[in-house]
Amino acid sequence: MRLDQTSLISPVSGIIVDDSFCRVGQFITPASSAYKILDSESYFIRSELDYSKLKYFSVSHPATLKIMDIPEKFDSTSSLPLPGPKNKFVILFKLTTDNLSLTTLVPGLPAEVTVTI
């Protein structure tokens, strides 16, 4: 195979967050993952909800997200609660990033989620 005639194409636009899967001489097939890419169109905040509070919660609850070191707050809605560890449920909140640059958001930043019930 000639590398000058080969292209790697990502199904999403974003930034490469891990390239440790790609090594010199590695055989890459269409099913293999050469890179981990952070999709710049779908940021989510992951939050945990205690099992005892699940009865007050439903899908599409409005929420406000405050991310550490970013001055503005963001409106969001909740996803379907998914079972998580230790009698907790995991809820994803979609973050719209129209006014943020990719360099501002970093995976793993702490955030505060306020849910309106």
Q: Are residues 78 and 110 in the same domain?
A: yes
Q: Are residues 16 and 66 in the same domain?
A: no
Q: Are residues 36 and 23 in the same domain?
A: yes
Instruction: List C-alpha distances in Å: 110 to 46, 83, 107.
Output: 10, 21, 9
Flag residues of the chain having pLDDT under 50: none
Q: Are residues 6 and 53 in the same domain?
A: no
Number of domains in the chain: 2
Would you say 91 and 78 are in contact if contact means Cβ atoms under 8 Å apart? yes
Chain centroid, CA 28 distance in Å: 26
Q: Are residues 27 and 49 in the same domain?
A: no
Which domain does 2 fall in, by range? 1-40
Two tokens, residue 94: 């979609």
The answer to whether the pTM exceeds 0.85 is no
**pLDDT value, residue 3:** 63
**pLDDT value, residue 41:** 73
